[in-house]
Amino acid sequence: LYLRYLQSEKVETIGHVAASLAHEVRNPLTAVMGFLKLIRNDSISIEKSRYYIDICIEEIKRTEVILSEYLSIAKPNNPIYEQIDLVQQLNSVIDIMTPYANMNNVALETHIKEQEITISANLNEIKQLLINFIKNAIEACLSVSDGKVNIRIEHGSLYSKITIRDNGVGMSNEQLERLGTIYFSTKNNGTGLGLTFSYQLIRSMNGTVSVRSEPRKGTEFIISLPITK
């Protein structure tokens, strides 16, 4: 009985890994798709299309990294932690997500002043985390006519505070309670893995996440991560 339990637990883990792999690869694919559609447009300048192609190359490279990281999960090696310029990464993720927002008629409003905020993190993980929250905020606005996503970052004494607010569908208390649990999704093609991954990562970084939400009004996530500088 004990053995069987261990075995099924292993199968379960592999299932989770496979599903989250698909999820994490889908985000960069969505970005590449968005840029390719922009490039196909005849009226686009050579410079612009070069710029978009460079972003596509970066995204594909990142997909390769994600794939190799997941393939190495059988023999887990610790992800590389480095000193990360959080403002720079947030700006780069906003660039990546802008076509997705435009495509869906959602305005991305950013209030990000030049400032130095350094955290200790794994680069791919932190990018994935930011993408997950911003993507969810954009998707929450799909059914509203005047969709807006507001993103800001502040430097506290010990923590950096990233706020992502949308005026989308919002959540009921029942939904709020299930947030971050594996496979919880209210979307037709959702995986319910994005926030599970993100919550776990925030916890592992000794950060916190808080959320306020009201149905038909919108949602605000505040992510606090310990800073090193």
Chain residues binding ligand ADP by CB under 6 A are 132, 136-137, 140, 166, 168-171, 175, 179, 184-187, 190-196, 219
Tokens 């929450």 -> residue:
140
**79 touches, from ligand ADP, Mg ion, none (C-beta below 5 to 8 Å by class):** none
Closer residue to ligand ADP (CB): 149 or 227: 149
| Amino acid, single-letter form, for residue 135 | K
Shortest-Cβ-distance residue relative to Mg ion: 194
DSSP secondary structure, 10-65, as one string: HHHHHHHHHHHHHHHHHHHHHHHHHHHHHHHSTT--HHHHHHHHHHHHHHHHHHHH
Write down the least CB distance from residue 179 to Mg ion, Å: 11
- Distance between CA atoms of residues 207 and 199, nearest Å: 9
At residue 214, the 3 state secondary structure works out as strand
Write down the least CB distance from residue 181 to Mg ion, Å: 13
**186 touches, from ligand ADP, Mg ion, none (C-beta below 5 to 8 Å by class):** ligand ADP
**138 touches, from Mg ion, ligand ADP, none (C-beta below 5 to 8 Å by class):** none
Write down the least CB distance from residue 164 to Mg ion, Å: 12
Nearest 5°: phi and psi at 159? Answer: -125, 150
Closer residue to ligand ADP (CB): 63 or 213: 213
Give 147's contacts (C-beta < 8 A, 6+ positions apart): 104, 105, 106, 107, 138, 141, 166, 167, 168
Closer residue to ligand ADP (CB): 106 or 227: 106
State the residues that interact with Mg ion by CB under 5 A: 136, 194
Write down the least CB distance from residue 198 to Mg ion, Å: 9
Q: Cβ of 16: how many Cβ atoms within 10 Å? A: 14
Instruction: Pick the closest to residue 82 from 127, 118, 132, 129 (CA basis).
Output: 118
Closer residue to ligand ADP (CB): 50 or 187: 187
The answer to whether 154 and 160 are in contact (CB under 8 A) is: yes
Write down the least CB distance from residue 216 to ligand ADP, Å: 11
**128 touches, from Mg ion, ligand ADP, none (C-beta below 5 to 8 Å by class):** none
Write down the least CB distance from residue 77 to Mg ion, Å: 27
Closer residue to ligand ADP (CB): 84 or 140: 140
Per-residue b or e along 129-143, where b marks 16 or more CB atoms closer than 10 Å to that residue's CB = bbbbbbbbbbbbbee
Closer residue to ligand ADP (CB): 103 or 179: 179
